[in-house]
Structure 1
Amino acid sequence: MADQDKSMQRPTLSGRFGVLALGAATLAILAASPGVLAAPLRVLQGLGFRPHAPDLGLLAAAPLVIQLHVAGAVTAFVIGAVLLAGVKGTGLHKALGWTWVLAMTLTAVSSLFIRTINPGHFSLIHLLSGWTLIALPMAIFAIKRRKVRQHARAMTGMFVGGLLIAGLFTFLPGRLMWHVFLG
């Protein structure tokens, strides 16, 4: 009888599948109704928004420290997304995790030498770099002590704060990534 009850249950949209389904539905609705995006696109066009193929020549012309920073951030973003979506605790997770730690360290350390926002001085964004350089060893120490929840919280926080939120700031009008992808 228990097997019969399970087969009669209504399927739910939970976990990763639910997020993917919601994202696909949102994209489908936006694609079907282009008028919804007209006003925001006019505002972006006023800021010089012209989507185009990435102009990698701008990155190639950037100083080496910026190139290293971008390489570390992109590597950490891709590996971090794989780690967050994948099964935890496997050999692959551990190997990719150590690679992610190295990429995050490269990103944080290289950012200390990028001072274009406040020439010659640190800016508020550098607080994220300091936080990352302190939080990375703490997260590693947490997993070594088998404090999985503390480790997961710290690593996810660094991914969201140190990569996603800080990464979004690099796409502001006038910044290098804005020009590479949008300007």
Structure 2
Amino acid sequence: MSDAGLSIGPTRFLRTVVIGLAVTVGLILATGLAGGRGPAAALAGFLHLKGHLHAPNFGLLAAAPVQIQVHVAAVSAALAVGVALMLGLKGDTLHRALGWVWVTAMATAAISSLFIHRANGGSFSLLHLFAGWTLIALPMGVFAARKHNVRLHGRTMTGLFVGGLLIAGAFAFLPGRLMWQVVFG
């Protein structure tokens, strides 16, 4: 059973991205509101820029510990390949090959994140739950594809893309985090 003609399509992909971003902004606002600030102040605090555009400071990444460098490289690869997979045809040889690259990149990102403890004083944080779930859901998604359960495979992998890359990734860009400093600092 081949589903080579099926594609997520740009409209569904954009809807998925918008939902992921909306959830992320909602979490940012909820965090700010819990801190006693209003929605505008919470969003302004998150988006606090120094008033000028500049190139990212990749020197900060080069100086970061190796587990962070591996994590950023794996996440970057997973994001690029994931977009290609979401927009491309499903079930063909290219999809399968890129799918294995994506699964490997996601597993590498999840495992490497287990060795990153900078955000929570040297211990695990709530973000590590995304890593745990990724390591559980990835084999489930692969198994669903191998059993030709296209619907479960698509839902599992799309959920990992949105939750593991977009939502968890957005937390990497919170003020004070390394990626915030690389891009906005």
Q: TM-score surpassing 0.5? A: yes
Note the residue ranges of structure 2 that are not aligned, 5 or more in a row: 1-8, 15-39
Instruction: Verify: 1:107 aligned to 2:101, yes or no.
Output: no
Structure with greater Cα Rg: 1
State whether residues 69 and 110 of structure 1, in contact with CA within 8 Å, keep that contact through their aligned partners in structure 2. yes
TM-score by length of 1: 0.76
Deviation (angstroms), 1:119: 2.1
Task: Calculate percent identity across the aligned residue pairs.
Answer: 57
State whether residues 13 and 86 of structure 2, in contact with CA within 8 Å, keep that contact through their aligned partners in structure 1. no
Q: Distance in 2 between matches of 1:151 and 1:59?
A: 34
Task: Select the residue among 54, 59, 62 that pairs with 2:61.
Answer: 59
Deviations 1:75-100 (A, max 9, x none): 00000000000000111100000000
2:126 is paired with a residue whose SS is: coil
State whether residues 73 and 163 of structure 1, in contact with CA within 8 Å, keep that contact through their aligned partners in structure 2. yes
The 1:18/1:156 distance shift into structure 2, 3 A limit, reads: closer
Deviation (angstroms), 1:52: 1.4
Partner of 1:16: 10
Note the residue ranges of structure 1 that are not aligned, 5 or more in a row: 1-14, 21-38
State whether residues 51 and 181 of structure 1, in contact with CA within 8 Å, keep that contact through their aligned partners in structure 2. no
Deviations 1:92-112 (A, max 9, x none): 100000000000000000000
The 1:106/1:118 distance shift into structure 2, 3 A limit, reads: same
Deviation (angstroms), 1:18: 9.3
Structure 1 runs (4+) greater than 4 angstroms displaced: 17-20
State whether residues 71 and 109 of structure 2, in contact with CA within 8 Å, keep that contact through their aligned partners in structure 1. yes
1:161 is paired with a residue whose SS is: helix
Q: Distance in 2 between matches of 1:174 and 1:16?
A: 34
Partner of 1:92: 94
Partner of 2:146: 144
Partner of 1:168: 170
| Residue type of the alignment partner of 1:16 | P
Deviation (angstroms), 1:129: 0.3
1:24-39 alignment to 2 at 5 Å?
Answer: none
- Note the aligned Cα RMSD (angstroms): 2.3
The 1:149/1:107 distance shift into structure 2, 3 A limit, reads: same
Higher relative contact order (CA 8 A, sep 6+): 2
The 1:18/1:134 distance shift into structure 2, 3 A limit, reads: closer
Q: Distance in 2 between matches of 1:118 and 1:107?
A: 18
Deviations 1:107-139 (A, max 9, x none): 000000001111221111000000000000011
TM-score by length of 2: 0.75
Instruction: Verify: 1:157 aligned to 2:159, yes or no.
Output: yes
